[in-house]
């Protein structure tokens, strides 16, 4: 199975992008680098978790670090696009290894407030202090000499953002590949209408913009893919072509009503709303996850 791909810089001010696919969670991690300065950012890194044994590991994050070392890169940012529901974030681990600051969208505070109630954690800080920077819509920053800006892209979650870096955009769980469709919008805080407007903002980027998605589910058993363009999405995405806003909302709500919740959702959110930090060890030295029972609606039974 193809789990790595490189997308070369398309010119001055344009990033080189490498993607690492995780088959266990269908997630894609990115290293975005400036060819001129060899500075880079890591986007949506995965911390390995085996739900059957409770084991954690850093295999995927270490693969990113090995690539950085091999190619003489320097990590300037560790970026998450949103609080993930299907894998643990390795942001905190990578910060410890590289010293690079972590960042996410400023609306993470709304997600923290929502989930601290679900987990019954009244003392958990819900002000976003778990990250070094909280980005607002329109914020800009640099990766070496590359210019980057932030889009607020809610719908999948309240806190979702996209990163537009040179002629590339990292659009997480909004659009998937053009042969698959778009992301779900039924998680706590999700909204199909908001997702539609977030997608329209992405499709307003130049046609040649390289779009990099957060997941790929390999329809019809094809090899994993995670790069497309604005033009390809507009012309071929089955959830968008010929659809108006009302059509899309109806389609999205119908599809979401048939989907089970991600198997790691209750495991992952308690880690990811704290910036990828695992729970503190208890008196016996062990860490424990907290799983609320009957907290979410829409269970699908075999």
Model confidence over 181-228: pLDDT tens digits?
999 999 999 999 999 999 999 999 999 999 999 999 999 999 999 999
pLDDT for 302? 67
Q: What b/e string do you get for 83-106 counting C-beta neighbours within 10 Å, with b at 16 or more? A: bbbbbbbbbbbbbebbebbbbbbb
Q: Are strands 74-79 and 210-213 parallel, antiparallel or unpaired?
A: unpaired
Residue 122 has pLDDT above 90, yes or no: yes
* Cβ(172)–Cβ(226) below 8 Å: no
CATH topology of domain 4-272: Metallo-beta-lactamase; Chain A (3.60.15)
- Residue in the structure block whose two tokens are 């850093």: 58
Residue 232 has pLDDT above 90, yes or no: yes
Model confidence over 274-293: pLDDT tens digits?
999 999 999 999 999 999 99
Token output for 117: 């109630």
Can you give the residue ranges of every domain in the chain?
4-272
Q: Could you give the CA distance from residue 268 to residue 47 in angstroms, rounded to a whole number?
A: 10
Q: Could you give the CA distance from residue 144 to residue 147 in angstroms, rounded to a whole number?
A: 8
pLDDT for 153? 98
């Amino acid at each position: 199975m193809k789990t790595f791909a490189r997308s070369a810089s398309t010119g001055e001010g344009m990033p080189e992008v490498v993607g690492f696919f995780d088959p266990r969670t269908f997630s894609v991690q990115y290293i975005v680098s400036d060819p001129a300065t060899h500075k880079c950012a890591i986007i949506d890194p995965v911390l390995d978790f085996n739900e059957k044994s409770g084991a954690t590991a850093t295999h995927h994050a270490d693969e990113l670090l090995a690539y950085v070392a091999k190619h003489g890169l320097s990590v300037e940012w560790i970026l998450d696009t949103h609080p993930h529901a299907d894998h643990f974030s390795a942001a905190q681990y990578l910060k410890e290894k590289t010293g690079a600051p972590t960042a996410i969208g400023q609306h993470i505070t709304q997600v923290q407030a929502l989930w601290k109630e679900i987990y019954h954690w009244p003392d958990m800080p819900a002000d976003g202090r778990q990250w070094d920077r909280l980005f607002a819509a329109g914020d800009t920053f640099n990766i070496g000499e590359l210019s980057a800006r932030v889009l607020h892209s809610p719908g999948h979650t309240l806190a979702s953002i996209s990163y537009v870096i040179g002629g590339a955009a990292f659009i997480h769980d909004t659009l998937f590949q053009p042969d698959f469709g778009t992301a779900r919008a039924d998680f706590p805080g999700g909204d199909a209408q908001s997702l539609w407007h977030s997608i329209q903002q992405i499709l307003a980027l130049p046609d040649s913009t390289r779009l990099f998605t957060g997941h790929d589910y390999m329809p019809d058993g094809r090899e994993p893919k995670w790069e497309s363009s604005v033009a390809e999405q507009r012309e071929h995405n089955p959830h968008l072509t010929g659809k108006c806003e009302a059509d899309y909302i109806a389609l999205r709500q119908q599809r979401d009503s048939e989907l089970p919740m991600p198997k790691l959702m209750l495991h992952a959110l308690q880690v990811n709303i704290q910036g990828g930090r695992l729970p503190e060890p208890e008196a016996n030295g062990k860490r424990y996850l907290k799983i609320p029972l009957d907290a979410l609606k829409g269970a699908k039974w075999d």
